[in-house]
Amino acid sequence: MISDLPLWLSILVSAFVVLGALLTMAGCFGLVRLKSFYLRIHGPTMGTSMGGGLILLASAIYFTVTRERLVVHELVIFLFVTLTTPVTLMLLARATLFRDRVEGNEGVPKRPEKIETPAAPLKT
Amino acid sequence: MRRLLPHPILAGFLLVLWLVLQQSAGLGHIIFGGVIAIAVSIAASAIIPEPIVIRRPWKFVQLIVVAGLDIIRSNLAVMSVLFHPRPNPTAGFIEMDLTLKNPFALAILAVILTATPGSAWLEYDRARSTVLIHVFDLVDEAEWVATVKKRYEALLLEIFP
């Protein structure tokens, strides 16, 4: 249990967990408090990059020491989260951009004049 | 060989991923993971017809280190803005011209810029080869673009032909 851990390890692991949680919380605050949609998309990124990363790092260190073998499947979690975040982010952001442009809202860059759809030619 | 293993890098990556996920490098896991990796890479060749070429693998390590440090720095910067009683960042859109054309390099750049809390990759325009980026705390637009070009794009251009 946690009382059997060496002191340096408890301090290290708790520091990582607390700092990671703090970053994630800052991101959540940002999600609630920031004014526009484009600002708010930056908040949760903190949870998925460094916030989550630090918590996973703490988990990897803790289980590596207590199980006395290398535990690194947290790396896979981090990899999957990092690789999939841009997909949802782009989906949300482009939907909002589209809507803002259709509604003619201010503060949004104009759609470029000529848009070529990069769709592959249909095979008949 | 090319028909059995159309994407050796992808297959190798999947095998390593499988072994890490299983927490074991036993023979059974290697064989099973290898079968899965080869099957997936054959299936992927329908979506990715051309082989993936990575020219300077050690530059990849450099890219990961540079991006990792920038992500940490950006996290702390955004956190200090958000814990301010009245967060009022000077956000802005940037339309950036890219020399990069390789789809994998573009995907990696998108992942890096999105994982950095200070910036978000919104929309890539293939026809004009520009990308729309939203920056959380924009001070100097020209400098920001120059930083991305120097730190990431130059490396990615060296890695991917």
Q: Answer yes or no: is pLDDT of A5 > 80.
A: no
Are residues B87 and A27, on separate chains, in Cβ contact within 8 Å? no
* A-B C-beta contacts closer than 8 Å: 110
Tokens 């790396």 appear where? Answer: A75
pLDDT given at position A113? 60
Q: Answer yes or no: is pLDDT of A50 > 60.
A: yes
Tell me if B15 sits within 8 A of B34, measured CB to CB: yes
Across chain A, what does the average pLDDT equal? 83
A38's tokens: 């484009």
Distance CA B62, CA B152 (A): 10
Q: Does A94 touch chain B (CB under 8 A)?
A: yes
Residues 43-62 of chain A with CB under 8 A from chain B are 43, 45-46, 48-51
Give the mean pLDDT of A57-78: 87
pLDDT given at position A13? 92
pLDDT given at position A39? 86
Please list the residues that pair with B124 across neighbouring strands. B131
Tens digit of each residue's pLDDT, chain B (161 residues): 667 778 888 888 899 998 888 887 888 889 999 999 989 988 888 888 777 778 888 888 899 999 999 999 888 888 888 887 777 778 888 888 888 888 888 999 999 998 888 888 888 888 888 889 988 888 888 888 988 888 899 888 888 87
Give the one of A45, A71, A108 whose C-beta lies nearest to B115's C-beta.
Answer: A45
- DSSP secondary structure string for all residues of A63-97: HHHHHTS---HHHHHHHHHHHHHHHHHHHHHHHHH
Position with higher pLDDT, B125 vs A91: A91
Pick the residue from chain A with its C-alpha nearest to B121: A90
pLDDT given at position B5? 78
Helix (H) or strand (E) holding B96: strand B92-97
Give the three-class secondary structure for B128: coil
Give the mean pLDDT of A21-30: 89
The CA distance from A10 to the nearest CA of chain B, in Å, is: 23
Position with higher pLDDT, A1 vs B71: B71
Tokens 């990961």 appear where? Answer: B64
Give the one of B83, B127, B134 whose C-beta lies nearest to A38's C-beta.
Answer: B134
Are residues B122 and A30, on separate chains, in Cβ contact within 8 Å? no
Tell me if A43 sits within 8 A of B113, measured CB to CB: no
Give the mean pLDDT of A27-41: 86
In a mutational test of the B interface, the residue from A28, A45, A89 whose CB has the highest number of chain B CBs within 10 Å is A45
Give the one of A43, A49, A112 whose C-beta lies nearest to B115's C-beta.
Answer: A49
Tell me if B128 sits within 8 A of A105, measured CB to CB: no
B91's tokens: 């956000």
Are residues A109 and B95, on separate chains, in Cβ contact within 8 Å? yes
Give the mean pLDDT of A31-42: 86
Chain A residues with beta carbon closer than 8 angstroms to that of B106? none
Q: A107: left (phi > 0), else alpha (psi -120 to 50), else beta?
A: left
Tell me if B81 sits within 8 A of A39, measured CB to CB: no
Are residues A39 and B75, on separate chains, in Cβ contact within 8 Å? no
Pick the residue from chain B with its C-alpha nearest to A75: B20
pLDDT given at position A117? 55
Chain A residues with beta carbon closer than 8 angstroms to that of B95? 109
pLDDT given at position A53? 92
Tell me if B98 sits within 8 A of B106, measured CB to CB: yes
